[in-house]
Structure formats: structure tokens, C-alpha cells
């Protein structure tokens, strides 16, 4: 964790010296952000389970520092070499607010807050539960995350890559209350 804080601090200081990006004559006020990837952990590399993470978001830039918009995200977990036929999923519906530092730089530090409502489902026909064999459970809750990060900006400013570290009170697909994430954005 100390190394992550040092890394983010170095990037923020470095971005202050990089200089402004080359702005186009038109201001880009909207973007679509996409994420679709497997979660990389030991269970994936051992072939035990596949955890797919996805996110789609629309961003409106209110000004050069403040942006916000709706977000649809979640994950799907499938056991691969396990006779328990375990499947789990989470669908998150919410919005986000982001404050960006150094908006004219090619490396832009930011802080993001995202409250959302999460719909979770777990199903298996052979797992033992208090009710007997098999489980088919739903849980819904209001939660969210806060995330410091950086945005890497292309020369044309049409494509950006967000790299951020999310913190929550409930847990992510990795089972922890923090996780590294990224998102590719198309600006227009």
C-alpha cells in the first residue's frame, strides 16, 4: 500500500512538469468509458474460475475539473473445474462524480466518488446450505466506492485511459475492500 501511495505521488509530481497537452479548437465535453476483462488472480491462472468484470459509463464534463455521469458495471463468476457448478453475478447501477487536477496535462490525477445500488445473485445446485443441498440467493444493497487515480491522455485527446485504485465498504470481485481498475474512454 505504501508503494502505491508513493507511485501515485510520483505520477502527480511528474505530471505537473510534463506540460500542457495539445488542445484542439473544439472542447470535448462528453465521453463513453468501457471496461471488459477477466479479473487476473490465481484462480484464473489455475483454471478454477473465471471472473469477468465489465463497466460502461457516460461522462459529461461540466468544466475542466469537474465531470459526472451514470455508470453500469458488475461482474460474473463461473466455476470452471469445480463440481459445485457455482455461478455468481453482481450488477451495479449508479453514478459518479470526478474532480480532476492538472486538466491541461497529459497525465491527469483525479479523485472519484461513485454511489450505486448493487444487485447480487449466487446459484449452485450442489453447495450445502442451512436449507439443504443447493443455493439460489439474491442480495441487494446500496454501496459505493472512492478512488484516487490518473488519466493518461492521447495527443489528440480523443482517447484516454483511467488507472485507479478503488476503496469500498462492502468488497469487490476479488473479495477485498480495495481493487485496482482501469477504463478506456472515447471522448467526443
pLDDT tens-digit profile of 33-62? 999 998 888 777 788 889 999 999 999 999
Contact 99, 146 (CB under 8 A): no
41-45, 46-50, 66-70, 91-95: segment of lowest average pLDDT: 41-45
**pLDDT above 90 for 21:** no
CA distance 93 to 71: 6
Q: What angle do CA 93, 99, 105 make, to 5 degrees?
A: 125
Question: What is the rounded radius of gyration, in angstroms, for the C-alpha atoms of the chain?
Answer: 19
CA distance 179 to 186: 23
The burial of 98, by beta-carbon neighbours within 10 Å (0-12 exposed, 13-18 middle, 19 or more buried), is given as: buried
Contact 81, 48 (CB under 8 A): yes
Q: Which residue has the higher pLDDT, 104 or 48?
A: 104
What pLDDT score does 13 carry? Answer: 54
Contacts of 153 (CB under 8 A, 6+ apart): 21, 105, 106, 107, 108, 160
Task: Return the SS3 of 17.
Answer: helix
- The conformation of residue 172, written as its DSSP 8-state character, comes to -
Q: Are strands 66-79 and 87-100 parallel, antiparallel or unpaired?
A: antiparallel
Going by pLDDT thresholds of 50, 70 and 90, the confidence category of residue 108 is very high
* Claim: this prediction has a pTM higher than 0.85: no
Helical spans, DSSP H, in 20-98: 42-45
- Which segments of 154-177 are extended strands (E)? 159-168
Contact 122, 134 (CB under 8 A): no
Contacts of 138 (CB under 8 A, 6+ apart): 119, 120, 121
Amino acid at each position: 500500500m505504501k508503494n502505491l501511495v508513493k507511485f501515485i505521488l510520483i505520477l502527480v509530481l511528474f505530471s505537473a512538469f510534463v506540460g500542457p497537452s495539445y488542445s484542439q479548437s473544439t472542447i470535448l465535453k462528453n465521453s463513453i468509458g468501457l471496461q471488459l476483462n477477466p479479473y487476473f488472480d490465481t484462480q484464473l491462472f489455475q483454471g478454477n474460475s473465471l471472473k469477468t468484470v465489465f463497466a460502461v459509463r457516460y461522462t459529461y464534463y461540466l468544466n475542466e475539473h469537474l465531470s459526472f455521469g451514470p455508470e453500469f458495471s458488475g461482474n460474473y463468476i463461473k466455476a470452471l473445474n469445480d463440481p459445485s457448478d457455482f455461478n455468481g453475478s453482481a450488477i451495479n447501477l449508479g453514478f459518479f462524480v470526478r474532480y480532476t487536477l492538472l486538466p491541461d496535462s497529459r497525465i491527469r490525477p483525479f479523485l472519484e466518488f461513485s454511489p450505486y445500488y448493487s444487485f447480487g445473485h449466487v446459484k449452485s445446485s450442489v453447495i450445502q446450505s442451512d436449507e439443504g443441498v443447493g443455493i439460489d440467493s439474491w442480495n441487494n444493497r446500496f454501496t459505493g466506492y472512492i478512488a484516487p487515480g490518473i488519466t493518461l491522455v492521447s495527443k489528440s485527446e480523443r482517447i484516454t485511459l483511467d488507472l485507479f485504485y478503488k476503496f469500498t465498504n462492502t468488497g469487490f470481485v476479488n473479495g477485498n475492500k480495495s481493487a485496482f481498475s482501469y477504463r478506456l474512454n472515447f471522448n467526443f
